[in-house]
Amino acid sequence: MTPRVILPGATVGVLGSGQLGRMFAIAARRMGYRVHTFSPDTDTPTGQVADLEIVAPYEDLDAVRRFAQQVRVVTFEFENVPAATAAAAAECSQVRPRGEVLHTTQNRLREKRFLVANGFPVAPFREVRSLADLRQGLGEIGPKAILKTAGFGYDGKGQIKIHALTAAEEAWRRMAGQECVLEAWVEFEKEVSVVAVRGVDGSFAHYGVVENDHKNHILDLTRAPGLVSTELAAEAVEIARAVLEKLDVIGVLCVEFFLTSDGRLVINELAPRPHNSGHFTFDACITSQFEQQLRAACGLPLGSTELLRPAAMANLMGDLWDAGEPDWAAALALPDVKLHLYGKISARPGRKMGHLTALGSTVEAAAELALEARARLLRLG
C-alpha cells in the first residue's frame, strides 16, 4: 500500500526549536507548508520563523498530544526528546523518524549495542556503572580512553579523556554516578561524516563524504567534498545506507566516522536528524538536507543531492561577540560567502550562533575563503 503524501499547504510539527528546526522551517515554508514548533523555550530560532510556537515542557504529554493533533506529521530537530514525548505524539500523528530511532540513538550504550549487533565498525567499548567497572574497562581496552555519559551528550558535553589508570577515580567522581560508556582511544587521521536520507518508499540519497575539523569537541569547519579515496567514500556511503535501513529511518541521519591512521572507518556517533556537517547543503546543493527531511517526512520523492560547487562551512561561535558586534559587512564583501545567523537572543562562549558557507573552484579554495570570511568578522574599526 502506497503511503499517503502530505502535500504543500499542510502543517508539519517540529519537536525542538533550535537552529536545525529554524532551517527546516525555512525550507518547509518555502515549499508552502505551515510549521508548528514545540519546546520549553520562547522566542526560539525555530519559533521566530514558524507559524506557531508552542511553549511547554516535553514532559507535559497532554500538551504534546494537543500539538500533534494540529499537524499532519511530526519530526525532530534534536535527538534528546524524551521517549515518552515521542510516544505521545505518535498517538495523534505520524512521527518521522519513529520514536524508536530516537530511543536508540539518544543513548550511547543503546547505540553502541545496536551497531555491534548489526556488524558495524566501532571502537572497543565497555559499559560503566561503577568505579570498579571503569577500572576493569581500562584494564581490558587500555588506559588511554574516553569516558562518556550514556545519555544526553553532544558537542563534547559529558566526555572526559583518560590517559592513565590512576585517573579513573577522578573521572568517575566527575561523572557523579551517571551510567557511562568507556571507549578506547582511536588514533585517527581525520574525522569524516555522511549525511544521508531515506524516504517512505525506502529510497536513499546521500551527500557524499565530508571532512570535519573540531575545536573543543565542537565542529569548526566542514569541507565538501571530503578528500578521501573513491573506494573509502563508497564504503562510508554503504555503511550509512545500511544504518538507515537497519534502523528503519524515514528522514535524515548523519553517520560520524573516524578514519584511522591505517585507513579503516570507525563509527563515532549517529545523529538521526540534519547535522551541522550538512549545513553547506543549504547553499551548495540542489536539495538541502532540510528540504530532504521535509520530503521524507511528507512522503514526497527525494530531491537531487548534486553538489553545485565545492563548499566549506565555518561555524560562528559566541566568542566572536566578545569584542562587540562582528563586522558582517567585511565578511560579506567576499561575494562567494553566505551568512546564516540563528536568531539566538544572547551570545556566549561555545554557543553556536550561526555559520558561514563559502563556495570555491576547489574544496581547498572554499575552505580558505570560509576561514578568511570568519577572520574578517573580528577586524573592527
**Residue-wise pLDDT tens digits, 324-355:** 999 999 999 999 999 999 999 999 999 999 99
d(CA 87, CA 61) in angstroms, rounded, equals 9
Lookup result for grid cell 519513529: 98
| Average pLDDT estimate for 108-126 | 97
Just give the CATH number of 188-376: 3.30.470.20
Residues 78 and 18 sit within 8 Å (Cβ to Cβ): yes
d(CA 230, CA 156) in angstroms, rounded, equals 30
Lowest mean pLDDT among 86-95, 173-182, 189-198, 326-335: 173-182
Can you give the pLDDT at residue 1? 43
Q: How many CA atoms lie within 13 A of 90 on its CB side?
A: 15
Evaluate if residue 298 carries a pLDDT over 70: yes
Q: How many CB atoms within 10 Å of residue 127?
A: 15
Pairing between strand 125-128 and 337-341? unpaired
Q: Under CATH, to which class is 124-184 assigned? A: alpha beta
d(CA 85, CA 95) in angstroms, rounded, equals 11
Can you give the pLDDT at residue 381? 46
When pLDDT is cut at 50, 70 and 90, the band that residue 320 belongs to is very high
Evaluate if residue 250 carries a pLDDT over 70: yes
Collapsing DSSP to helix, strand or coil, 288 comes out as coil
pTM as predicted = 0.95
When pLDDT is cut at 50, 70 and 90, the band that residue 157 belongs to is low
Distances (CA, A) of 161 to 55, 78, 137, 186, 268: 37, 25, 14, 12, 15
CA proximity to 343, closest of 14, 19, 13? 19
CATH architecture of the domain 11-95 equals 3-Layer(aba) Sandwich (3.40)
Distances (CA, A) of 23 to 38, 46, 90, 147, 182: 15, 8, 23, 33, 34
Evaluate if residue 152 carries a pLDDT over 70: no
* % the chain with pLDDT above 70: 97
Q: For the chain, which residues make up each domain, given as ranges?
A: 11-95, 124-184, 188-376
Evaluate if residue 52 carries a pLDDT over 90: yes
| Average pLDDT estimate for 161-167 | 89
| Average pLDDT estimate for 191-218 | 96
Can you give the pLDDT at residue 10? 98
When pLDDT is cut at 50, 70 and 90, the band that residue 126 belongs to is very high
Evaluate if residue 58 carries a pLDDT over 50: yes
**44 φ/ψ angles, rounded to the nearest 5 degrees:** -95, 165
Can you give the pLDDT at residue 78? 87
